[in-house]
């Protein structure tokens, strides 16, 4: 796997640091990765290794306020806040088109990155060839939690689990949890995200109806992920897209899996399932 970096400039002037992981041979398709809240794109290197080994080219930005983009000022959301985060997805997609105009592009969004993906699809579903949502949920219940005047308090997510570090809700793999806790670019207290209330549009059936009905979608979640609420909110999310007319919406719920499936004890199984989906939806491209 060849690693390089690029930058693109957001509409409010943020230089968005982006990893580019390339396979040894000519790529078959592009996977655009959007990470979650209080983490960063470098944590997806292992996933990128599997993708590039299978012939996929990977672009993974450090979202605004995160990773190297933040330059140490974690949670600095910029003037555009949440709408800017969603627009950053579109800007990177445009950059990929400039560099690889003939390759299909699959969006992979985890957690907050999956919410940005849901929001992005309302206006841009024609610009991508398939979508994978990880650690996601239907957002109607979540927006009031995120749209608060106080910093986001995620500690409640750990209530059903042991309290060794407070981040056991992320994974059953203690080594992965410890690596997250030890990483200064992870787990920081997220300040209020201006404009996050606009994410509610992703739960509006009239808006979701604009998503093209031939867009393939895979939703992966652990049934012990607090955001999944036992799988109920994940199934509700999938049904919302099916009700909007999408005919290829697949859900995979992993028993005992927690929030970060790519860092879970069964991560190889999850990765294989994602690769099988990617191979299927890009086979004819």
Q: What is the number of alpha carbons within 13 Å of residue 56 lying toward its C-beta?
A: 27
| 30 has a pLDDT exceeding 60 | yes
pLDDT tens-digit readout, 65-119: 999 999 999 999 999 999 999 999 999 999 999 999 999 999 999 999 999 999 9
- As a whole number, mean pLDDT of residues 203-227 equals 98
Q: How far is CA 9 from CA 18, 93, 124, in A?
A: 11, 13, 19
pTM for the whole thing? 0.97
Cα gap 105→35, rounded to integer Å: 17
Which residues, listed in sequence order, are joined to residue 110 by a DSSP beta bridge? 134
| 271 has a pLDDT exceeding 60 | yes
Cα gap 130→128, rounded to integer Å: 6
Q: Which pair of tokens denotes residue 230?
A: 């036992």
pLDDT in the model for residue 150: 81
| 269 has a pLDDT exceeding 90 | yes
- Count CB atoms within 10 A of the CB of residue 104: 17
Q: Which helix (H) or strand (E) holds 119?
A: helix 112-124
pLDDT in the model for residue 284: 66
How does residue 285 score in pLDDT terms, banded at 50, 70 and 90?
low
pLDDT in the model for residue 155: 78
Q: Which of 127-141, 146-160, 242-256 has the lowest mean pLDDT?
A: 146-160
Cα gap 155→199, rounded to integer Å: 22
pLDDT in the model for residue 53: 98
Assess contact for 222 and 257: CB atoms under 8 A.
yes
Place of tokens 């005992």: 256
pLDDT in the model for residue 156: 83
Beta strands in the chain (DSSP E): 2-9, 15-22, 29-34, 56-61, 105-110, 130-134, 217-222, 249-254
What interhelical angle do 81-99 and 112-124 show, nearest 10?
70
- As a whole number, mean pLDDT of residues 1-30 equals 98
pLDDT in the model for residue 151: 79
How does residue 148 score in pLDDT terms, banded at 50, 70 and 90?
confident
Cα gap 75→96, rounded to integer Å: 26
Assess contact for 58 and 278: CB atoms under 8 A.
no
Q: Which CATH number applies to 2-282? A: 3.40.50.1820
Which residue from 55, 184, 25, 171 is spatially nearest to 111, judged by alpha carbons?
A: 171
Cα gap 176→10, rounded to integer Å: 32
How does residue 225 score in pLDDT terms, banded at 50, 70 and 90?
very high
pLDDT in the model for residue 154: 76
Assess contact for 39 and 113: CB atoms under 8 A.
no
The chain-wide mean pLDDT, for the chain, equals: 96
């Amino acid at each position: 796997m060849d690693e390089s970096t690029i930058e693109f400039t957001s509409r409010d002037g943020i230089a968005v640091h982006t990893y580019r992981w390339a396979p040894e041979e000519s790529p078959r398709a592009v996977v655009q990765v959007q990470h979650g809240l209080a983490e960063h794109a470098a944590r997806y290197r292992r996933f990128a290794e599997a993708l590039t080994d299978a012939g996929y080219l990977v672009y993974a930005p450090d979202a605004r306020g995160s990773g190297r983009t933040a330059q140490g000022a974690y949670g600095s959301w910029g003037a555009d806040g949440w709408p800017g985060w969603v627009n950053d997805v579109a800007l990177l997609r445009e950059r990929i088109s400039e560099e690889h105009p003939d390759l299909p592009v699959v969006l992979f969004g985890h957690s907050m990155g999956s919410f940005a993906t849901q929001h992005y699809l309302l206006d841009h579903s024609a610009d991508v060839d398939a979508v994978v949502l990880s650690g996601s949920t239907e957002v109607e219940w979540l927006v009031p939690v995120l749209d608060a005047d106080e910093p986001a308090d995620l500690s409640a997510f750990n209530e059903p689990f042991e309290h060794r570090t407070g981040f056991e809700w992320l994974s059953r793999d203690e080594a992965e949890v410890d690596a997250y806790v030890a990483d200064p670019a992870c787990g920081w207290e997220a300040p209020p995200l201006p404009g996050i209330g606009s994410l509610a549009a992703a739960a509006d059936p009239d808006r979701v109806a604009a998503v093209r009905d031939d867009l393939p979608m895979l939703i992966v979640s652990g049934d012990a992920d607090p955001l999944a609420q036992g799988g109920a909110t994940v199934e509700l999310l999938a049904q919302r897209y099916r009700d909007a007319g999408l005919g290829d919406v697949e859900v995979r719920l992993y028993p005992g899996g927690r929030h970060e499936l790519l860092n879970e004890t069964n991560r190889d199984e999850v990765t294989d399932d994602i690769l099988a989906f990617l191979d299927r939806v890009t086979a004819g491209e």
